[in-house]
Amino acid sequence: MITFIAHLQVPPENADAFENLMTNVAAMSNEHEPGVTYYAFAKSVDQHDTYVVVEVYRDQVAVAAHGETEWVRDSIPEMLGLIEGMPRIAQYVSPGAEPVASQFEELT
């Protein structure tokens, strides 16, 4: 398994648009990508402008396929316009698995 956890700062005036965008991306990813085992986002209870996106993929092929979907490619520019700064992304892998290169930079 390959997991990405991204922390994002979203100004309050952009929260509704960000939540709508991420709801769509999560639904499309979970419904149409067999290599996605979990894709969701949540809002911090302590820092009201902070969100986390958790993406779990079966393997590197699934990570690459996710970055090629229309909804991901279309959502990145919109998401970047709704957040402050850049997402802080951390990667985790199952013991014994190799890390993968993030495609996020290529999509921006």
CB 8 within 8 A of CB 51: yes
What span, in angstroms and rounded, lies between the C-alpha atoms of 50 and 107? 22
* Among 74, 92, 85, 59, CA closest to 25: 74
Q: Which residue has the higher pLDDT, 24 or 102?
A: 24
Domain architecture of the chain: domains with CATH: 2-107 (3.30.70.100)
Q: How do residues 4-44 score in pLDDT, each as one tens digit?
A: 999 999 999 999 999 999 999 999 999 999 999 999 999 99
* Among 39, 63, 73, CA closest to 53: 39
Residue 83 burial (10 A CB sphere; 0-12, 13-18, 19+): middle
Tell me the whole-structure pTM to 2 decimals.
0.89
Q: What is the pLDDT at residue 102?
A: 64
